[in-house]
Amino acid sequence: MIAQPVPPNSYYGVAQADGAPAPEGTIIVAVADGVKQDSISVGSNGKYGSSSGEKLNVDSDINSKVTFHVDTVDGPQADQTDSDPTAEVEELDLTFPRGAFSDSSSTETETATETETATETETATETETATETETATETETATETETATETETATATPTGPVTEMGSQTETEAKTTSKTTTAPTSANTDDTSEETSTAGDISAEITITSASLNRTQVAPNRVILVNATLQNTGDATASTAVSLMVGETRAATNNYTLPAGESRDIQFRYRANETGEFPVSVGQTSAGTLTVDGSDGLIPWGILRAIFLFIFLPVAIIYAILKALAIYYGY
Q: Considering just the CA atoms, what is the radius of gyration of the chain in Å?
A: 35
Question: pLDDT tens track of the chain, all 330 residues?
Answer: 555 666 788 999 999 998 899 999 999 999 998 899 999 999 999 999 998 899 999 887 777 889 999 999 999 999 999 887 877 888 999 999 998 888 533 333 333 344 344 344 444 444 343 344 444 444 343 334 343 333 343 333 444 443 344 444 443 433 333 333 333 333 434 433 444 334 567 778 999 999 999 999 999 899 999 999 999 988 999 999 999 999 999 999 999 999 999 999 999 999 888 999 999 999 999 999 999 875 555 666 677 788 889 989 999 999 999 999 999 987
* pLDDT recorded at residue 155: 38
329 located within any domain: no
How much is the pLDDT for 295?
52
Residue count of the chain: 330
Encoded amino acid at 289, one letter: L
Q: Does residue 186 share a domain with residue 144?
A: yes
Clarify whether residues 134 and 167 are in a common domain.
yes
- 206 plus 130 within the same structural domain: no
Are residues 212 and 159 part of one domain?
A: no
Query: In the prediction, which pLDDT does 286 show?
Result: 96
Res 200: pLDDT: 62
Q: Which domain holds residue 35?
A: 1-100
Domain boundary residue, one of 100, 122, 146: 100
Same domain for 169 and 145:
yes
Is 208 within the bounds of a domain? Answer: yes
On whether residue 168 sits in a domain, the answer given is yes
Same domain, 29 and 83: yes
Q: Is the pTM of this model over 0.75?
A: no
In this structure, are 208 and 179 located in the same domain?
A: no
Tell me, yes or no, whether 106 lies in a domain. Answer: no
- Residue 203 to residue 110: CA distance in whole angstroms: 17
Whether 305 is in a domain gets the answer: no
Instruction: Identify whether 248 is part of a domain.
Output: yes
What's the total number of domains in the chain?
Answer: 3
Residues 141 and 85 in one domain: no
What CATH number did the domain enclosing 276 receive? 2.60.40.10
The closest of 323, 42, 104, 95 to 224, measured between CA atoms, is 95
DSSP string, 60-71: TT--S-EEEEES
Q: Do 156 and 175 sit in the same domain of this protein?
A: yes
Instruction: Look up residue 167 and give its DSSP letter.
Output: S
pLDDT at residue 138, rounded to an integer: 42
Q: Kindly state whether residues 93 and 148 are assigned to the same domain.
A: no
Domain end (from 100, 135, 169): 100
The residues with which 254 forms a beta bridge, in sequence order, are: 240
Phi, psi values for residue 234, rounded to 5°: -120, 30
Please tell me the distance from the alpha carbon of residue 233 to that of residue 65, in angstroms, as a whole number: 35
- Between CA 315 and CA 326 the distance in angstroms is 16
pLDDT score recorded for residue 91: 92
CB 241 within 8 Å of CB 187:
no
Residues 212 and 124 in one domain: no
pLDDT of 103: 55
DSSP state of 23: P
pLDDT of residue 117: 41
Cβ-based neighbours of 79, under 8 Å, separated by 6 or more: 94, 95, 96, 253, 255, 265, 266
Burial class (CB in 10 A: 0-12, 13-18, 19+), 94: buried
Angstrom distance (rounded) from CA 83 to CA 301: 21
pLDDT given for residue 2 in this prediction? 57
Contact 12, 50 (CB under 8 A): yes
- Whether 327 is in a domain gets the answer no
In a domain, 230, yes or no: yes
Q: Of 58, 74, 100, at which residue does a domain stop? A: 100
Residue 51 and residue 63 share a domain: yes
